[in-house]
Structure formats: structure tokens, C-alpha cells
Structure 1
Amino acid sequence: MDVPRDELERAVRATLSRQAATLRPLAVDPAGLAIRRANRTRRRRTLAGVALAGAATVLVSAGMAQFGTQAGHPTTPTVVLGDPRGATAAPAPDPMVSPSAGTARPLPGPGGPAVDLIVGTTLRTTQDESIPLGLGAVDRAQRVPDQGGWLVVGGPTAAGRTLVSMRPDGSRQALLAGAEAIAVAATGRQVAWRDGDRLTVAGIVGDRLVAVTSTAAPGSAVPVGFVGDAVVVRLDPTRPGYAVWRPAAGGLSAGTGGDVLAVYGTRPDGRAVGVVATGSPRRPCLALLDPARNLAATRTACGPVLGVDGFGGVSADGRWLLVNGRTGASKATEALLVDLATLDGTPVARRAGPALTGAVAWTPAGTAWYVDGRGWLVQVRSDRVTAGKPADVAPVSGVDPGGRPVVVTDVAS
């Protein structure tokens, strides 16, 4: 062909340029495949999330409904929590249940104390374990032997008090939140609380509240304890006067508890041990109170000046009362060990140690543990006190300045 060389080169270059500009589809498109897979995954996750949210809403509604159906009573702001199917709560993140250091508790007696302690936000057990509570300030705590755990009552906050069930593995379940006052039975099977203008009582089964019953709360009445299945109610925290509430019988009983100044526990025969104002001039005296007769005093005995601050406890066998008071010529308030077997005459009270500032934990062996005003742990053995020997007192390590440990009570307390 008679074609100039330069024209032939231009034609070849043009042909090659057109071929390079033409996009041919690939047999496999990696980028498009990845995008389509990502879109399908996102759609599946969105649908699953919507389904789970709907299921969770149904379950929570069902769980709350069982506590909101009290006949004739409106629901209160108290939040009652729990899995309606009895499922186990998820464990707390990294519970770190581990033996504490050997120098962590320089406590009296061989092998350390015979009671559990709460120091700051940690539960220290008699088995030398440290369990983080994951809670704020703690007011009271008690062991629940049947479940191998503890019931912990939080301190007062702007949002109210909480009741939490703790397990040995460090997991926890909130049973109550937002209550003004909480009282737990020594057996750990019942709880009473006040919220708003209602007093409420419920049974504790595992991590659930059952058989919830409420009644109107007069004035500033708050639950303070149990005698059998009845709730002991203090009518006004600033004045004398107690009442008994039997949920099966209706509202609070009117009655003879107007002279009661304090209630410290119960004896095996069911009678409560307390202090009443009696005599002329009126003074605080020890008394046995009959819950069946609205805390009427069946026996009174005067002698030592007993405190009415509410700090005290009765031993499991009903023989001893450890309470604040004064005896003899002493002007200082201190812990007194009162022999309840001497109530037929002048009760025998012996000086037992520094004044109580919180709960008293009695062991079956007749030993009481409590915390004094310095935040030190006190061990009172009834046999040593009756022999004229002083109580053992020792500091607890790990307590923050201004803080104090909390003694965990047991069913025996």
C-alpha cells in the first residue's frame, strides 16, 4: 500500500488509544462483591437489633407487671428489679475474687474475725477472700446461708436506698432501688421498705421479690425489723413509739407500743427485747415485748441506764443483750453486756467495751462483733466479760480516713 510512514503511525496510535479507552467488564468484580456483602450484613444486623429490642421490651414489661398488680393500690416510684423467669444475672466485670494479703487485716483472735466485713467497696469474708461490691456507701449487710451470698443495703442517697443480692462469684442483682428505708429479716427471706406514702413488704426467693403487699404509711413511719412474719415499724424516728404490721391482717396495729423507745432483737420464744419509758419520773428500762399484743411489755426491769440510739443486738440463744448505756457511777456511754436471765430482779449489766456505732453480729459461740467510734473492730466474748476481762479491740487495715468498716450479720444475729 502506498501510505506514507507518518500517516500509518498516526493510524496505529489512534487504534491503540480507542482500545485503551474502551472498558470491558471483568469476569469477577472484587470491589462490587465486597460492597454488596457489606450491605447485606448491615441489613441483617439492623433487623436482628430491632427484634432483640422488641423482645427485651416485652420481657421487662412482663417482669415489672408482676409487682404492679397490687389489688386496690397504685404503683409507687420504687423500682423493683429481677428476672421474672429466675435467670441468673450476668456477672460483674472482672470480679477478682482472690485471697487477700496476709497483712490486710491485723484483727484480734486466731485466724482473724469470725464474721465478714465490708471495708470501703470490698467485702472481706471469713474465708480470706476479697470481693468487690461495685456499690457506693453501704449501710448494712447480712449473710444468706441458703444461697451462699449476701444481702447488702446501700446508704442513703438523693435517689434513695438500694437492696442488692451479692453472690460469692462477685455477680450481683439489684432487688430494690429508690426506697426511703429498708429492713431485712434476720432470715434473709423477707424485706420491708417505705417509698412515698406506702409501706411495702415482700418475700425474697433467690433474686426475686414475691408476694408483694403494701399499706398506707402514717406520718414518717419506717420499717426497722421483723418479729416472725410481722414488720416492726417505728412511727417517728425522732420520738418514742413503735407498731406492728401484720400484712395478712391489714394495716398497722394501733396499740400499746407508744412507750417503746427502742427494739433490739427477739428471743427464741418470739418476744422482742427493747427499752420502754416507765416509772415516775419516767426513765428507760429494759422490757420484753409481746408482738401478739402490739408490743405490750410483759416484763420490765430497771437498773442500768440503757441507750435508745438503736445500736444493739440479742444473742441467738436469747441470753445476752449487747447495747449502749451507762452503769454505776460512770458518766460515759459504753457497750454493756446485759444478762437477760436476770430480768426477774435488777438486770445484771457488765461493761463490755467501747460504745457501739453500728450493727452487732453474734456468733453461735456467744461472741459479739461490732465497730466502735474510731472505726476499730471489737470482739466481745460473753465468758470473758463475765469473768471481768476486757474486750479485744484492733484496727482494720484498708479503711479510708473518716470511714469505718461494716460488720456483716448472720442468721444467728
Structure 2
Amino acid sequence: MTIGVLKEQHPETRVSLVPEVVQALVKMNVQVQVEQGVGLTSFYSDKMYADAGATLQDREAVIKNSDLLLSIQPENISSGMKANAVLLGVFQPLYNVPQMQSWAEKGFTVFSMDNIPRTTRAQSMDVLSSQANIAGYKAVLLAAFQYSRYFPMFMTAAGSIPPAKVMILGAGVAGLQAIATSRRLGAVVEVFDTRPAVKEEVMSLGAKFIEVEGAADASKAGGYAVEQSADFQQRQKDKIQEHIRKSDIVITTAQIPGKKAPILITKPMIEEMRAGSVIVDLAAATGGNTELTQNDTTVMYHDVAIVGNSALAATAPADASKLYSKNVLNFLKLITDKEGNLQLNFEDDIVKGTCIAHGGKITNDRVQSFISQPTTA
């Protein structure tokens, strides 16, 4: 089997495979070809890939000659692939249904790493977790840079500076890392989450858990938020409004697969925040958790900065690529035999759950359910 790795297009800075993972694949009898300059934005040189055993090619040759093609972003894949090619990346299939249909009709087998089942066995392949961890860390650093005051408490001869008050909406992987990073920087942290089960984790990191009773069960949502009743949403907003006026930094992480992100912060809430405060919205790409969020943009409203950024993992491309490619390697081991040939075992729940299209049709039930209705990205 020949695996091809495409160079991502701006603004994506990560790469699907780092040289050390290429070396591991070569030892598995897999041929690896990479587009020239594939890892430059992640600080991995062409020489490093060549030394690892990869063949450097131009883009057209990589696409044409690969049995399995790796690209993080779906829009990075262009025409010219083999009729029965396998595509693997982070394709967000619920938001890119037409693209998934098109690939299925062309006979491609499509695996989307963001569709990996959230099970114990699949943890080593969970790209959502590995990348969200970085995003939560970076969100706090971005907020600290944007914030007009200190994070930690300072006691000096010139007077005392109180610690920043951070509120985090959502205690998934990104939220938990944001808690830990905020605490390391000396902030006081409060956390909202609709899942009571995360309370212990939140408190173990030194944050206060703010609970709203009556949330819908999110235990099977794969770490995402689920739609809540109108009554719960109103009580949640009331509780957030009560606490947001005392917060200096707010980091939001709530997303619902295939749907617009829930609005948790309204204009009136923002108007009550102290001048110079910062909101970092990690759900910006799916509409954002505030009424004013714009993706890849910082909006100033009532002297509050609302930073919309869903791609913070790509601001640490070297480590983000390393973690992502290790996730990919662990998944490839499931679909590669000892001779280095492709072996698709759809009896495996991870292989089946990650597959979006195969045999000329959409195989994923959730994507199939979206075909007859408009997406809400």
C-alpha cells in the first residue's frame, strides 16, 4: 500500500504525518510519499521526511499514485485520485454532507478521524481530544495576552492586584485543559457544564463547579453538548448572567454535532462585563456561543474583546501534528495487515464508526440522516 500525504493549504499549519510516524509506517512495509514542503509550516523539513524513508513528490503525483490519501482539511483534496482511493482526515462530515456524497458517488472510501467512537479502546486515536487539549491551553494564553490586567494575584509595595476571574463554559477536554492552565497562571476559575458527572474532575483541578439542575443526558454525545429544553436553557442563561458580570475572562467550548453552536452569552450579558474583559469562543466555526462571535475575528463590544477562534490547535503546529499523526498511526494499524496492505475490517467497531463512505454510498447513519435535510453549520 502507498500512503500519500498532502501539504495543507493556508491557514492550516498542521501536517497529517510527522517524520517519526513515517518511519514507523515504513517499518510496517508501507510506502509513504509526501508532497514537497509538506511539513514546513509544522517545522518538519523535507530532509527529515526523506531520512525517515518517505519519497518526496509533487502534488499531482502524490494524489495520482496513492492508495490512501491523508489530508486534514477536506477542501485540500483535489481531483486526480485513483478510482478506489481511501481518504482519511478530519472532514467534519455532518457539516460537509455534499462533499461526502460526492466522494461516495466517485467510489472513494472515506474515513473521518473526528468520527472516531469515544470509547476506551479508541482513546489512542481520538483526534478530537488530542487537538482540543491544545486548544484549551492556547485559549487561556490567548486570553491572557489580550487581557488588560494580570492573571495572578500580586502583592507589592505599590499595592495589591487581585487575581483574574475566569469562567469556562464546558468541561470537555478543551475546558478541562483551560481550567488547568488558568489555575497555573493564578486565576480564580468557575465552570459551567450540563453534565453533573464532570463536577469531580472540575473540582480536582481547583475550580468551582456551577451546576444548573435538570440538564438533558449528554453521556452518549461524545464529549459534545446536547440540545436542552427551553426551560433549562433559560435557567442556564440566568445563572450565567449572574456570574458573568463578575468574570474577567470567559472561555466557551460548547458545540452540538451537525448543528449551530448554542448561544450561551447574549449582548446584555456582555454589556454587564467589566471593560477590558475577554471572551475566547472555541465554537466560532459553528456559529459561536455568543451572539456577536465571528470566526477568525476579534470583535470589540462595550470594551469587551470577543475572540472567535476554532483553530487554536494549529497555532502549536509542531506538537499538534505530532499528536494528530500518532492518532492516525494507531488507526492505520487497524486497517493494515502485516505485509503493509490495506485490510478494511468493518466488523471492528472503530473502523465501522469512523467510515463515512464505502462501496459507492454513505455508510454512516448520522451523515445519511442529514442528506434529506439542510445542514445548520
TM-score class normalised by the smaller sequence: under 0.3
Q: Which has the higher contact order (CA 8 A, sep 6+)?
A: 2
**TM-score for the superposition, normalised by structure 2:** 0.24
Structure with more helix by fraction: 2
**TM-score for the superposition, normalised by structure 1:** 0.23
Highest CA radius of gyration, 1 or 2?
Answer: 1
Structure with more strand by fraction: 1
